[in-house]
């Protein structure tokens, strides 16, 4: 019998004895055992901080993103075996797809976020704050990787997705990790981690794996560490309140199971596409992963006059759902992960049955196709009806973490909102309605108690990812019972692992630190012209001071003729009474266009193209007779990888365009984005 191992301190290791025996959820056969007994967690955490943390912190966001993308591509080549092992957890092919390819997709999504970060190991947050009258003293914020380690304690239901959706974020931030999956399904996590370690794509120590109970894993956390926990709210609260967490102010992100609700809008009547979508979505959330999802629908809230229609629609679809061995033809719902889960779900169903009626399902009498009903972990879908959910409130307190949900009626949208809120905070809610005003009313009223709200209608149904699918670029977490954390969230998730620090000093000094030009910093004259320099040669702050141009009436007329912009302030001097203008004013876009004519070096050189303008502002009117010039400054540089061997090696350079008049005052500001060759392409 195989003993599943942990990867700690640079090697694959077995704990002492047997902590947990592991079983195939379909046939009940023992597949191995696991133990973490005897592990020295103080050494494990310190190994990650030092051995894994140092090289990660030295990498830029661009390098980390490319590393994660390479890892995702590598894991895709190994996915066939993951599906084979995933079946042992009771998962159907669709269930496994969510876990495996959904998890790998998370790596791709987070890798793409590198485009929103500088080509630095740290992040420059927001804009500078002026702190002095003369502009010689400013403030800014940077965010640097915490010099700690992320400890991820994951649930049994998604042994791959649960790991990848978390490590993608901390690795992008430059922080190493220890992953502690559920002991019951860690065998699947172990398979993938072996492939990750063998690939050598990650620096040694960046990822460690603890398979087993992991007792004591957070006893040695320090102030710069981050702990994340996914699982039951009760266990999460215990861990969050441990002295070592509280005393060291350790960041703790809790993502707990929640009593998620879906609402059928009053306008989604039988016969509409939205009613059919509602029945399909509610049934899917009961049966996918056999209901073992933290985002599954537990409460089905419908207009009181449609209870019968909804009950029949869901019951009919459940009756057509074949339960059993996922390898058998036609099976659409597999097993729970373990026999232990069967016992826990049964206990919760029996408790809920004390205050509401079972209208579909029988925990003892149901058929399966293939598998072993006695030794496997199969469970019948159960659908309840609660006729008085404001009084019979167990449904808002007790979660059966399996294929179990409850229909309840509402009289008005205010009632529906209140019922959804009675879950005391959830990861996700949804409303299915063809009426946008109804959707707006629900979202605004319910949003404060839900981490995510899906608004589903016929227009978006074809591409909707569904009620139960958190997306890596959006927040995944929720208030109250759901834990109050944000496990993902795109850029927000990465910032969770960084320490924000305010910095103060002269603009030239802050420019050097941030590698972004700050107004008031030194602007040495570029030599040669910046358009004659390759990406590597350009220095932040170097500036081209252009020739000047005196604006004329003819400029304004000609630009109006070319652009078609005949706005009265440019063309009709008799219409200016009551406006802020003293006389006809030059078009703002003419000022920017003329600025380009002044700062561009027209000869062929390293600049490949200008492809955008950001933060354009027209801050002072320019009248005929004004003389303008441009200070054209290297503002920021962002490296860019080659997409193929034949691609041109290049980077992105942002230039500050500061247009000023004869008084020296700025009249227009903009940032232009250019694509600039690197030196190795000079030939």
What CATH number is attached to the domain comprising 289? 3.40.309.10
Q: Is the pLDDT of residue 683 over 50?
A: no
Residue 285 shares a structural domain with residue 175: no
Reported as a single tens digit per residue, the pLDDT across 137-154 is 999 999 999 999 999 999
For the ranges 229-238, 297-306, 475-484, the one whose mean pLDDT is highest: 297-306
Residue 226 shares a structural domain with residue 327: no
Does 514 reside within a domain? no
Which 8-state DSSP code applies to residue 52? I
* Nearest Cα residue to 45 out of 239, 245, 224, 231: 224
Dihedral angle of Cα 341, 345, 351, 357, to the nearest 10 degrees: -170
Is residue 255 annotated as part of the catalytic site, yes or no? yes
Residue 225 shares a structural domain with residue 300: no
Residue 361 shares a structural domain with residue 340: yes
Reported as a single tens digit per residue, the pLDDT across 8-22 is 999 999 999 999 999
Strand-pairing partners, residue 144, are 499
CB 75 within 8 A of CB 107: yes
Which ranges of 87-217 would DSSP assign to H, the alpha helix? 93-112, 161-173, 186-199
pLDDT of residue 237: 87
Q: What is the mean pLDDT of residues 76-89?
A: 96
> Alpha-carbon distance 284 to 95, whole Å?
11
Does 558 reside within a domain? yes
Q: Is the pLDDT of residue 385 over 60?
A: yes
Which ranges of 13-52 would DSSP assign to H, the alpha helix? 41-47
HSE-CB for 417 with a 13 A CA cutoff: 14
Higher pLDDT, 180 or 234: 180
DSSP codes, 307-344: HHHHHHHHHHHHHT--BB-TTSTT--B---S-HHHHHH
* Nearest Cα residue to 662 out of 623, 618, 628: 628
Residue 363 shares a structural domain with residue 417: yes
Q: What is the mean pLDDT of residues 247-252?
A: 94
Reported as type and span, the H/E element at residue 467 is none
- The gap between the terminal CA atoms of the chain, to the nearest Å, is 62
Q: Which two tokens stand for residue 521?
A: 């910093």
> Alpha-carbon distance 262 to 314, whole Å?
13
Q: Is the pLDDT of residue 63 over 50?
A: yes
CB 423 within 8 A of CB 233: no
pLDDT of residue 682: 46
Residue 273 shares a structural domain with residue 295: yes
Residue 457 shares a structural domain with residue 527: no
Residues 255, 285, 441, 636: which is the catalytic one? 255
Q: Strands 650-660 and 627-640: what pairing?
A: antiparallel
Give the domain-ending residue among 210, 227, 257: 257
DSSP codes, 574-632: GG-TTSS-SS----HHHHHHHHHHHH---SSSSEEEEEEEEEEEE-S---TT-EEEEEE
| Cis, peptide link before residue 528, omega less than 30° from 0 | yes
With tokens 């492809």, the residue in question is 611
Q: Is the pLDDT of residue 368 over 50?
A: yes
Give the domain-ending residue among 213, 229, 257: 257
Residue 162 shares a structural domain with residue 297: no
> Alpha-carbon distance 554 to 625, whole Å?
11
Chain centroid to Cα 402, Å, comes to: 26
DSSP codes, 648-661: PPEEEEEEEEEEE-
Reported as type and span, the H/E element at residue 346 is helix 339-352
DSSP codes, 371-390: S-TTTS-----EEEE-S-TT
Reported as a single tens digit per residue, the pLDDT across 320-355 is 999 999 999 999 999 999 999 999 999 999 999 999
Residues 281, 285, 294, 486: which is the catalytic one? 294
Confidence label for 681 from pLDDT (cuts 50, 70 and 90): low
Does 132 reside within a domain? no
Helix/strand/coil for 30: strand
With tokens 């080659």, the residue in question is 642
- Burial class of residue 366 in the structure, from the number of CB atoms within 10 Å of its CB (0-12 exposed, 13-18 middle, 19+ buried): middle
Q: Is the pLDDT of residue 40 over 90?
A: yes
Residue 100 shares a structural domain with residue 117: yes
Residue 467 shares a structural domain with residue 615: no
Total domains in the chain come to 3
**Mean pLDDT (the chain, rounded):** 95
Rounded to two decimals, the pTM is 0.92
Q: Is the pLDDT of residue 1 over 80?
A: no
Does 136 reside within a domain? no
CATH assignment at residue 663: 3.10.129.10
CATH assignment at residue 110: 3.40.605.10
Is residue 460 annotated as part of the catalytic site, yes or no? no
> Alpha-carbon distance 259 to 348, whole Å?
13
Q: What's the domain range around 358?
A: 260-471
Q: Is the pLDDT of residue 485 over 90?
A: no
Q: Which two tokens stand for residue 297?
A: 């629908």
Q: What is the mean pLDDT of residues 497-504?
A: 97
* Nearest Cα residue to 416 out of 392, 397, 439, 384: 439
């Amino acid at each position: 019998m195989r003993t599943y191992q942990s990867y700690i301190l640079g090697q694959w290791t077995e704990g002492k004895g047997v902590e947990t025996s592991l079983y195939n959820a379909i046939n009940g056969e023992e597949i191995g055992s696991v133990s973490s007994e005897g592990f020295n967690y103080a050494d494990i955490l310190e190994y990650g901080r030092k051995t894994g943390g140092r090289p990660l912190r030295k990498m830029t966001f661009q390098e980390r993103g490319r590393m994660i993308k390479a890892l995702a591509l590598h894991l895709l080549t190994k996915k066939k075996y993951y599906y084979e092992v995933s079946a042992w957890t009771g998962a159907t092919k669709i269930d496994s797809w969510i876990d495996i390819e959904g998890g790998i997709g998370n790596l791709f999504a987070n890798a793409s976020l590198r485009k929103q970060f500088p080509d630095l190991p740290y992040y420059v947050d927001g804009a500078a704050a002026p702190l002095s009258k003369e502009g010689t003293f400013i403030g800014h914020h940077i965010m640097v990787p915490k010099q700690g380690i992320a400890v991820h304690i994951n649930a049994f239901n998604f042994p791959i997705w649960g790991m990848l959706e978390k490590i993608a974020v901390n690795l992008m931030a430059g922080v190493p990790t220890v992953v502690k999956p559920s002991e019951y399904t860690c065998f699947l996590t172990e398979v993938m981690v072996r492939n990750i370690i063998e690939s050598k794509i990650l620096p040694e120590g960046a990822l460690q794996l603890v398979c087993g109970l992991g007792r004591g894993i957070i006893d040695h956390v320090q102030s710069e560490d981050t702990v994340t926990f996914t699982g039951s709210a009760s266990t999460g609260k215990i861990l969050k309140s441990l002295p070592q967490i509280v005393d060291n102010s350790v960041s703790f992100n809790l993502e707990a199971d929640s009593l998620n609700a879906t609402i059928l809008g009053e306008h989604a009547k039988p016969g509409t596409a939205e009613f059919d979508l509602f029945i399909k979505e509610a049934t899917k959330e009961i049966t996918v992963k056999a209901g073992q999802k933290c985002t599954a629908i537990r409460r089905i809230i419908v207009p009181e006059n449609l209870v019968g229609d909804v009950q029949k629609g869901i019951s009919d679809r459940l009756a057509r759902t074949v339960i059993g061995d996922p390898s058998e033809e036609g099976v659409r719902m597999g097993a729970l992960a373990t026999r232990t889960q069967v016992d826990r779900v049964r206990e919760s169903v029996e408790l809920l049955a004390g205050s509401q009626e079972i209208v579909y399902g029988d925990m003892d009498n149901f058929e399966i196709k293939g598998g072993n009903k006695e030794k496997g972990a199969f469970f019948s879908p159960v659908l309840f009806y609660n006729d008085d959910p404001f009084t019979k409130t167990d449904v808002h307190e007790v979660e059966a973490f399996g294929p179990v949900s409850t229909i309840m009626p509402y009289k008005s949208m205010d009632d529906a909102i209140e019922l959804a809120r009675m879950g005391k905070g959830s990861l996700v809610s949804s409303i299915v309605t063809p009426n946008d005003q109804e959707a707006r009313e629900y979202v605004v009223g319910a949003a404060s108690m839900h981490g995510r709200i899906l608004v589903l209608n016929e227009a978006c149904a074809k591409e909707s990812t569904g009620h139960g699918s958190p997306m890596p670029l959006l927040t995944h977490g929720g208030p109250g019972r759901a834990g109050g954390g944000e496990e993902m969230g795109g850029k927000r998730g990465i910032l969770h692992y960084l320490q924000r620090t305010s910095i103060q000093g002269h603009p030239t000094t802050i420019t050097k630190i941030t590698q972004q030009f700050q107004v008031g910093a030194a602007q040495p004259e570029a030599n040669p012209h910046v358009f004659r320099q390759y990406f590597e040669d350009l220095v932040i702050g170097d500036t081209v001071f252009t020739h000047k141009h005196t604006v004329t009436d003819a400029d304004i007329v000609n630009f109006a003729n070319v652009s078609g912009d005949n706005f009265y302030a440019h063309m009709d001097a008799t219409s200016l009474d009551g406006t802020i203008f003293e006389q006809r004013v030059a078009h703002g876009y003419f000022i920017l266009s003329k600025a380009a004519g002044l700062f561009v070096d027209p000869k062929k050189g390293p600049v490949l193209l200008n492809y955008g303008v950001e933060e354009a502002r027209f801050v002072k009117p320019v009248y005929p007779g004004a003389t303008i010039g441009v200070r054209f400054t290297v503002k920021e540089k962002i490296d860019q990888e080659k997409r193929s061997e034949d691609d041109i090696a290049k980077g992105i350079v942002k230039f500050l365009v500061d247009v000023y008049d004869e008084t020296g005052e700025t009249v227009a500001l903009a940032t232009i984005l250019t694509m600039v060759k690197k030196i190795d392409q000079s030939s």
